A and B are shown apart, each in its own frame.
Chain A
């Protein structure tokens, strides 16, 4: 049953623009982030590097990960929220499949899409890094695939909240808005030591090659599990009276 649901979900996702938007964000973000890291490293070695607004130590992950996270949020909110916008939720809820199976299948599709996007973004960075490595300026350290995957897995941990919001507020945009709001808040607070264990900060931390605390990993797992349970409950409670 789950397999059939996944196939149906993939059919819906495959021909949508969301896939291309996600690819644009991860590939474009990855390339631009590497170029920025390369330029900032180069400028950092000149007199301009002393200017107060310059960041000579800019890392690839500083620019690439927020854009990748945006791509993941777009995919998750689309997978869970589109049925409310095009009216297909009637089809979903009058199919002989349990709502737990629907949420599970959609989360699997979302997670697989996020992993695929992260690997595509990583591949784009490897290619850009290889090209820039032949230049006189330093493109900065390359990112191992394991870091990209670890970062994507950490991002997946936060997505059930978006899934819940898509069902709760019945659409893609409210979920996307909530996801971006939380992410921006987390990134803004990221400088404070006491919030470093927030699950929303883990993807950046792991992509930068920094280790994650046990507390951070535990909270991320808890958020994922709790988010899934809340999403299932929300889907079970959907009341479409007209």
Chain B
């Protein structure tokens, strides 16, 4: 008796079961399509709903002391100084130096109670910040430019406009987190623009109350200029993806999420088959014919392996052709898939052995109806993990689909195979552990054969 004969028979049985085929192959296709369209806004154009707190790193490219000197020099330079008399100039310099941009940015803006619920920050040098983002310890890095303090001070205390380019470097692993960081910094840019507008109105009003006419004889031009450049002045936010990696969209995410969830049903299906063979007496008939038990169990393992592969093949083909999903490097996708399937088939074999030993289908039913749902939730198949509480994110490593999802997403983002070695090693390890447990259970079960 060859394992391939058992495998061929098991595959024929599953392929003749239209109900199972529909639920395990058509359902992920349908659900991923619905979720992709329904939640596309949450991925491409901002975030809605409750999110957990993201951490960002802030890099100060400026030197505090140097900035103070520069402000002093700038405000007493001929261009600016020429517009004011001595008294006004010294008052402007004094006010400018009193203005604490860092306090506005760090304490008033980022320290806002509402914002603190969404984001926390740490100040790092550029090198450390980039290390943190590479290690996925932060969702984004915000780089405040060399003249951040100077430019912001000029913008807020004089009618002049300097462009402030704030860079946000997003980590593509944090699909939503990096979007949130970008949104927050855009919010800061909008806020400072509002302050600048208010300040300009103030200056205009001050002029109307009798400021030196000579000093302000060109104020109309200045005001016009300010108004003219208002739209593109103040702080700009440039969003950059880490190391040129592409972020995934909702179609990609849910194609992967549903694939990794529904292949668990292959394990659920397989987990019943060993006991079904026994209930149908076909198991006993094979044993009587001298078929070793390990060959029967191996047939189940490979049946789940091939069926899960078929599920992935259908999902990859469908999502690529119909939803235009880019899965990334195909060879890497195949390699990652093989490890995922190995783990899934191992899990199914372990539950099949336990179900066989128990002599009833309770365990397989609990796996189908409860465990898969829990794994789907903690693995990020329903909702992206990063918006879930931190403890759930930590649990994701307990779910095959969670590890599988992370592996696929990284391949989609353009990472190489090396970046998923830890994931595929975990999948391989889990698969081996599951198979070892299955062997242990079945060896113990062999005693019952003689009962």
Partners in one complex: no
Listed in ascending order, the chain B residues whose CB lies under 8 Å from chain A are none
Listed in ascending order, the chain A residues whose CB lies under 8 Å from chain B are none
